[in-house]
Structure 1
Amino acid sequence: MSTNFSWEMRPTVGGIDFGPELNTLLPPLVRKLLAQRGITGKEQAEKFLYPRLADLGDPFSLAEMDKAVARIFDAIDNRQEICIYGDYDVDGVGSVTLLRAILRAYGAAPRFFIPIRTQEGYGLSEAGIARCMREGPLPNLLITVDCGTSSVEEVAALQAMGIDVIILDHHEAGPLGRPDAVAVINAKLETESPLTYLCSAGVVFKLAHALLKERKVPGFDLKHYLDIVAIATVADIVPLVAENRLLTRYGLKVLGEGRNIGLLALNEVAGMNRSPSASHVSFRIGPRINAAGRMDSPLDAVELLITQDSIRARALAQRLDSHNKARQAEEEKIRMEAIDMLHRHFDPANDHVIVLGSPTWHPGVVGIVASLLMRRYHKPTFIISIDENGLGKGSGRSIPGVSLVQAIHHCAEHLESGGGHDMAAGLVIREEKLDAFRKAFNAFVRETTSEKQRKPILHIDAEVTFPELTLDLLDSYELLEPFGNTNPQPVFMSRNIALTDVPKRLQGNHLRLFLKQGVSEHDAIYFNGGEMRLPDPPWDIAFTITRNVWRGRSSLSISIQDIRSSEP
């Protein structure tokens, strides 16, 4: 595989004057990065760089929050049976954990239920509800988290059984509209809510805030649960803007304090330091929690987050790590088989999408492989696991400018069902319809995008020289964190880079590079660089920077994003 990115410099919109104090504190490079993020003036800059929890908005601004609060307090006061019905990913598991904690603080004893991915599928499925009702007392109130917005028929069936339903969610509405629940708290159902960026754990946090505003609980500090909110927000790849960025910034600090025994054990298993970043959550914590649900053991993840026993926490953390290793092995198997299929049938010039399926692929892992192939080939991708009855369940990942939700609607005649977000979605399809869906999906992308939109672009934030890459720069640069969706980690470029030694191949097909610009030298890591066909030096390199802490000593770490032959 060779690199094929087109490098484009991001424009700087507006000036980089943020007042005498910030101008002195921040180097010009960091002020430029602020301007690129649409930050103008001293007030906006201070709010972005130094967010405060006091700036959180009124939780009752979310529609139907008052109805949810009233019904929950009614259930608590009358000692009614409450069941929390969640999802098997990080956001669902985190939402269950946080909601359980706040309800228990009020003296309730809620039970919780998480469906098994391969048996019951996502959300309020008929099979999931049936098992939920069998496994515990019939609830008077069922609260869904990270699901339920499109479950009109299922909610009606629960109501017919005498079970009230509250929905806490962030997914799009289905074609049948709003379920007839006691309350549906989902900013995406509102016409002009600014809170559509919240993940479900963020919605649950808002509910907890609202409950505490109405009725305080002595000794309960909601801030201590911000680590759960941060992990869910980062792992669910929702926009890190406004309150999401604020909750994540403080949540990562709580995560570093090690308050949650389970997360502390997982941090140790994952080899994390005590100053975790959003990147650590994305690549170490999130995948291990997700692996439990992907490998059909979602309760292991919930138990890890709620346990108060450090010995049990270590055992569960190791079990999640084992799930993750099994997931990685399954992922690699599917990835290699999918690439082999592409090499036999794929025409990059005319095939604008990737749609592949197999009866040997684990349904819990197809989404990860879809993401890997989408990034490698820059094509909207669906990877599908087909069961013994010829029914395929697939996950999709997309490129900028291609909405998978719109694509699913456009290709609905070939599908059993489908939905999700613009950039990540799921579908159900009959095996015999795969070719027809692939052709329809390909035509949709060809007709709704330009050739330029379909080409991979690497956006460069700024050009820097090696002497500028110092720990002093990192001190100011880190004020821009946490990085993620809508606040991406800046990508820098440096020109005329030479090698001082032969690249060293590391485990996992990664490369360690020994680089030099003039008299300044830096080592760099190129993840999956062993798969790349590197040009002859000298190079122009595109890269990101982070702080590496080893045995108490800090250094600036370079992570290569792309390499090209050096240009004038």
Structure 2
Amino acid sequence: MAEEEKQWIIREDPPRAGAEMGGLPPILLKLLGQRGVEGGEAVEKFLKPRLRDLSDPYLLPDMEKAVERVLAAIDAGENILVYGDYDVDGVTSVALMCNVLRAYGVAHDYFIPKRGEEGYGLSDTAIDNLLEDKGKPDLIITVDCGTASIDEIERINSLGIDLIVVDHHEMSVRGKPECIAVVNPKLGDDFHYLCAAGVVFKLAHALLKRRMVEGFDLKEYIDMVAVATVADIVPLVEENRLLVRHGLRLLPETKHAGLLALQQVTGMNGNVSSMDVGFRIGPRLNAAGRMDKPEDALALMLEADLKEARKLAEALDLYNRERQLHEKQIRDEALAMVAERPNAQDEPVIVLGSRSWHPGVVGIVASRLMRQFYKPTFIVSVDEEGIGKGSGRSVEGISLVEAIQACPDDLIAGGGHDMAAGLSILESKIDEFRENFSKYVLENTTKAQRAPKLHIDAEIGFDELSLEFMDSYDLLQPFGSQNPQPVFMSRNVWLTEAPRHLKNKHIKLFLRQGFVEHDAIFFGGGERSLPDPPWDVAFTIDRNTFRGRTTLQMVIQDVRSAEQQSE
């Protein structure tokens, strides 16, 4: 099944935003307007967010109840257990909550379930293991899970254990769980963009507003929140943007040995972007959970000694390499399965399963196949009992949650978000689910809607690309969900020499537009059949520092023949 050609869509020019602000290039004003940032004050707040603009944490639902119960536990000398999740957001949430409790001098412990054995969130197996390993706590605080765990929380209540949920996931159709407090922005009208670590940060802020702790500075944990926010791919808007902007600035000189060790192990050079978090720090923290070693990621985030942290970071780096091997194996086998399906080209979805696939890696492979073929994709790992656990990734305009709800007879369970979801399914039902999933997509979308698209933010000339332009451009950062890195295009571009093939099927291009030349990197471009120049090129831009010299680097997203007209 060949990769389908993308349709280039050039965004319309918005009303010029912030035009009264001097010193900003017109193209930057256009990018701000596309993001709905209008007027001088809004532009100033977007480009230069300030920590003093953080809102009152007591605006979140049930915050008052949560603070009262935690402070009561502190005063009574009770035992508190923090229960989290095995991904980056879950691990950092547990670490932050534990650091806050330690600052208050309260006895506390933590528990993170193993993905393969205990699954996500509160489960009966995890609760049994928790009670056996940790004993019975007086209070459990769940972070990054618990909102939809109605039955499990009822069981915890029956054991005489109080529970507070600190989460950001969607509510169960059965409603709000019965517990002391559910601090979840989804129960209110605002802050829906926060990740779990962001909600924990708000809880910590609320506790400190009620009772300060001498020597504890919550601002020192903003870098931890920033890592979780970027890694969890939540919208980088409003307070998320503020927290990430300031957190990224803290990271190079972080006071947390674990985050410093991760930067050392990954060879980061002192300037941290959201891309560094997304592609270097986040994958290594996630790899521990994927390899069923989440306790190592948490140990790293809690470690105070840099030497010990370095050992743990190197272990996580090895887990990441192991994860990459599993990923390659699954991807190669999945591509072979796609190639063997006679009607794969015409099917609007990809649904594949195997007993040889590691359950911790299927989500990554689903994401890669979705991007390669621009089709909603589920990749399923099947255990020895014939029970499959799958992870799905979708494309613009197709909700996986709605698709799962449309196929209830095919699945044991399923849920998540529109663009990323999980499911449980009998091995014998995989083919039937593929058929019904395809039917749902065909009935609810048009062929044009299913065609791959590349959204171009602005056209720019090679003569405008410079380090001086990057200084203004960098004010748009951090990039991520709902503030994506801008995609530019340039027309009538020629090669000055033949493409240079690099490892992993990447290529380096030497490009010229008029009399101006720029080098570019095209990740995966070695697998593409490129048209004859001249080209229109779509690209993002970054700073590239090599041997002490910093240059502007173009990162190619797509290439097409120059004579092809834009929409």
The whole-number CA distance in structure 2 between the counterparts of 1:452 and 1:197 is 30
Q: Which of 469-478 and 259-268 deviates more?
A: 259-268
**Paired residue for 2:14?**
13
Q: Is the 8 A contact 1:359 1:386 kept in 2?
A: yes
**Paired residue for 1:277?**
273
Q: Is the 8 A contact 1:3 1:562 kept in 2?
A: no
Aligned counterpart for 1:92 among listed residues 83, 90, 93 = 90
The letter of the residue matching 1:294 is R
Residues 306-343 of structure 1: CA distance to partner in whole angstroms, max 9, x if unpaired?
11111111111111000000000100110010011111
Aligned counterpart for 1:504 among listed residues 490, 500, 505 = 500
Q: CA deviation at 1:435?
A: 1.1
Task: Return closer, same or farther for 1:349/1:312 CA change in 2, 3 Å cut-off.
Answer: same
The whole-number CA distance in structure 1 between the counterparts of 2:142 and 2:385 is 30
Q: CA deviation at 1:557?
A: 1.1
Residues 95-144 of structure 1: CA distance to partner in whole angstroms, max 9, x if unpaired?
00111111111111311111110111100011111111111131000010
Q: Is the 8 A contact 1:415 1:427 kept in 2?
A: yes
Query: In the alignment, does 2:462 pair up with 1:461?
Result: no
The letter of the residue matching 2:386 is G
**Paired residue for 1:222?**
218
Residues 199-253 of structure 1: CA distance to partner in whole angstroms, max 9, x if unpaired?
1001000000100110111111111001111111011100000001111101101
**Paired residue for 1:149?**
147
Aligned counterpart for 1:412 among listed residues 408, 412, 429 = 408
Q: What SS does the corresponding residue of 1:558 show, helix, strand or coil? A: strand
The whole-number CA distance in structure 2 between the counterparts of 1:333 and 1:284 is 21
The whole-number CA distance in structure 1 between the counterparts of 2:56 and 2:325 is 45
Q: Is the 8 A contact 1:3 1:533 kept in 2?
A: no
The whole-number CA distance in structure 2 between the counterparts of 1:550 and 1:169 is 41
Q: Is the 8 A contact 2:520 2:556 kept in 1?
A: yes
Aligned counterpart for 1:485 among listed residues 481, 485, 490 = 481
Q: Is the 8 A contact 1:3 1:532 kept in 2?
A: no
**Paired residue for 1:326?**
322
Q: Is the 8 A contact 2:377 2:392 kept in 1?
A: yes
Q: Is the 8 A contact 2:18 2:43 kept in 1?
A: no
**Paired residue for 1:160?**
158
The letter of the residue matching 1:291 is A
Query: In the alignment, does 2:523 pair up with 1:524?
Result: no
The whole-number CA distance in structure 2 between the counterparts of 1:222 and 1:377 is 44
Query: In the alignment, does 2:78 pair up with 1:80?
Result: yes
Q: CA deviation at 1:367?
A: 0.1
Q: Is the 8 A contact 1:241 1:487 kept in 2?
A: yes
Q: CA deviation at 1:350?
A: 3.1
Q: Which of 217-226 and 9-18 deviates more?
A: 9-18
Query: In the alignment, does 2:247 pair up with 1:251?
Result: yes
Q: CA deviation at 1:44?
A: 0.7
Aligned counterpart for 1:339 among listed residues 323, 335, 346 = 335
The whole-number CA distance in structure 2 between the counterparts of 1:211 and 1:551 is 47
Task: Return closer, same or farther for 1:99/1:457 CA change in 2, 3 Å cut-off.
Answer: same
Task: Return closer, same or farther for 1:262/1:17 CA change in 2, 3 Å cut-off.
Answer: closer
Q: CA deviation at 1:500?
A: 1.6
Task: Return closer, same or farther for 1:2/1:500 CA change in 2, 3 Å cut-off.
Answer: farther
The whole-number CA distance in structure 1 between the counterparts of 2:525 and 2:73 is 56
Query: In the alignment, does 2:347 pair up with 1:351?
Result: yes
Q: Is the 8 A contact 2:338 2:344 kept in 1?
A: no
TM-score by length of 1: 0.97
Q: CA deviation at 1:496?
A: 1.3
Q: Residues 230-241 of structure 1: matches in 2 within 5 Å?
A: 230-241=226-237
Q: CA deviation at 1:549?
A: 2.3
The letter of the residue matching 1:96 is V
**Paired residue for 2:67?**
69
Q: CA deviation at 1:405?
A: 1.0
The letter of the residue matching 1:117 is R
Task: Return closer, same or farther for 1:562/1:348 CA change in 2, 3 Å cut-off.
Answer: farther
**Paired residue for 1:202?**
198
The whole-number CA distance in structure 1 between the counterparts of 2:343 and 2:517 is 41
Residues 354-400 of structure 1: CA distance to partner in whole angstroms, max 9, x if unpaired?
10000000000000000000001111110000000000000000111
Q: Is the 8 A contact 2:265 2:317 kept in 1?
A: yes
The whole-number CA distance in structure 2 between the counterparts of 1:336 and 1:245 is 37
Q: What SS does the corresponding residue of 2:447 show, helix, strand or coil? A: coil
Aligned counterpart for 1:41 among listed residues 35, 39, 51 = 39
Q: What SS does the corresponding residue of 1:422 show, helix, strand or coil? A: coil
Query: In the alignment, does 2:170 pair up with 1:169?
Result: no
The whole-number CA distance in structure 1 between the counterparts of 2:12 and 2:173 is 40
**Paired residue for 2:509?**
513
Q: CA deviation at 1:295?
A: 0.6
**Paired residue for 1:139?**
137
The whole-number CA distance in structure 2 between the counterparts of 1:449 and 1:99 is 44
Q: Is the 8 A contact 2:113 2:121 kept in 1?
A: yes
Q: Which of 9-18 and 304-313 deviates more?
A: 9-18
**Paired residue for 1:29?**
27
Query: In the alignment, does 2:285 pair up with 1:289?
Result: yes
The whole-number CA distance in structure 2 between the counterparts of 1:435 and 1:105 is 53
Q: Which of 40-49 and 549-558 deviates more?
A: 549-558
Q: What SS does the corresponding residue of 2:378 show, helix, strand or coil? A: strand
Task: Return closer, same or farther for 1:154/1:346 CA change in 2, 3 Å cut-off.
Answer: farther
Q: CA deviation at 1:510?
A: 1.1
The letter of the residue matching 1:387 is D
- The number of aligned residues is 563
Q: CA deviation at 1:529?
A: 1.1
Which 5+ residue runs of structure 2 have no aligned equivalent? Answer: none
Aligned counterpart for 2:110 among listed residues 106, 109, 112 = 112
Q: Is the 8 A contact 1:504 1:513 kept in 2?
A: yes
Aligned counterpart for 1:306 among listed residues 293, 302, 305 = 302
**Paired residue for 1:471?**
467
In angstroms, what is the RMSD of aligned CA positions?
1.1
Q: What SS does the corresponding residue of 1:496 show, helix, strand or coil? A: strand
Q: What SS does the corresponding residue of 2:334 show, helix, strand or coil? A: helix
The whole-number CA distance in structure 2 between the counterparts of 1:346 and 1:290 is 36
Q: Is the 8 A contact 1:16 1:28 kept in 2?
A: no
The whole-number CA distance in structure 1 between the counterparts of 2:14 and 2:345 is 35
The whole-number CA distance in structure 2 between the counterparts of 1:2 and 1:566 is 20
The whole-number CA distance in structure 2 between the counterparts of 1:164 and 1:184 is 12
Q: Which of 255-264 and 332-341 deviates more?
A: 255-264
